Amino acid sequence: MTQRELADRTGRPGQKISEIINGKKSITYDTALELEKVLGIPAHFWVNLEASYQLSKARLREKSQLEEQEAWLEFFPVRELRARDYIPRTRDKRETVAALLRFFGVASFSALRERQEALLQYRITPKTKVSLGALWAWLQVGDIEAGEIDTAPYNERQFLNALGEIRGLTSEQAEVFFPRMRDLCASAGVAFAVIKEFPKSGANGVARWISTDKALIQLSTRRRWTDIFWFSFYHEAKHVLDRQKKRAFVNGINDDPNAEAAADRFAEDLLIPPHEWAAFVESGAWSHPGVSDFARRVGIHPGIVVGRLQHEGLVGYASLNDLRRKFVWSND
């Protein structure tokens, strides 16, 4: 059948039929019904054929777009993501680009960049050796793990109670305190995760909101020392309590000195009550027995006391380190 005859039979202009046959016009539902009458082939066949054709064209466009985005492979820690099985091991660059987009749950890297810039809202100074690609990957792993943690709706009072109970766990080993700590946080609407650092990610920890009633505190495995780990946790807890839900606070590279100073004070005062600390500093009893006795009296691990003494310059950074503990995490 010629195009002219088909046009005559369907009652459509010859130019319209020519455009359909040459892929310049789509087959509409009305056209499909007309073709069904003229050719005896069901309308759903033509509709499905059109849909398949349009999908194939979209995949070809996507293939071209993936090739254009291959430059982003240098931006992200691809080798590390493969080693941790977050993306497949393949030499095909287009497949790797597609896998990265699936990992981040975005359609394009430009969309990812806009999303991250809106969330993080801070500048990294030129002297800071931070890879944004590594930081974004580390944050995304935290999002993935947070999604697997069931939490109650956020409750500030319950979270404050949880923070007090968690403080009593500071002298326990990680295998004891971690599951209990995670459960206490979850019961108050806060997911807690310790994520292995990505090289050059630069973050010690981060606090952010996953949804309107679920927060996340994410710490890096680089914070292995007892004092630094617990200080970082309570530092991030303060950011959660401040409930600034439209941004993330990344400890280590943020540029909001007021918020960071407030979080530091909160962590210091919750771990060691100010009046207790003032009396201890005045006593000058900073020997092994003195630190151990003080830590026992206020109910915290002695390594936290040592870290505070070192940070405030009351003892050298080489002093009393045998009272500090270094954690080994299961995901190291």
Lowest mean pLDDT among 120-134, 161-175, 178-192, 311-325: 120-134
Structure token pair of residue 275? 């009046």
Give me the sign of the Cα torsion angle 14, 15, 16, 19: positive
What's the whole-number average pLDDT of the chain? 87
pLDDT digits (tens, 9 = 90+) for 294-309: 999 999 999 999 999 9
What's the pTM? Answer: 0.77
What is the per-residue pLDDT across 241-297, written as a single tens digit (0 to 9) for each? 988 766 677 765 655 677 888 999 999 999 999 999 999 999 999 999 999 999 999
The mean per-residue pLDDT over the stretch 186-211 comes to 90
pLDDT of residue 92: 86
- Which domains are delineated in the chain? 3-68 (1.10.260.40), 72-120 (no CATH), 145-323 (no CATH)
Q: Can you spell out the DSSP letters for 214-230?
A: EEEEEEETT--BHHHHH
* pLDDT-above-90 percentage for the chain: 52
Question: For residue 8, what are its two tokens?
Answer: 């005559």
Bridge-based pairing state of the strands 205-211 and 249-251: antiparallel
153 band by pLDDT with thresholds 50, 70 and 90: very high
Cβ burial 114-150 (10 Å sphere, 16+ → b, else e): eebeeebbeebeeeeebbbbbbbbbbbbbbebbeebe
Instruction: Read off the pLDDT of residues 17-30 as tens digits, 9 standing for 90 and up.
Output: 899 888 888 999 99
Q: DSSP characters for 129-194?
A: ---HHHHHHHHHHHHHHHHTS--PPP-HHHHHHHHHHHHTTTTS-HHHHHHHHHHHHHHTTEEEEE
Contacts 24+ apart (CB under 8 A), 130-134: 130/200, 130/201, 130/202, 130/253, 131/75, 131/77, 131/198, 131/199, 131/200, 131/201, 131/202, 132/75, 133/75, 133/76, 133/77, 134/76, 134/77, 134/80, 134/198, 134/199, 134/200, 134/201, 134/202
- Tell which residue, 210, 211, 140, 216, has the closest CA to residue 182: 216
Burial class (CB in 10 A: 0-12, 13-18, 19+), 318: exposed
Predicted pLDDT at 197: 87
- What is the per-residue pLDDT across 282-293, written as a single tens digit (0 to 9) for each? 999 999 999 999
DSSP class of 196: P
Q: What is the pLDDT of residue 123?
A: 47
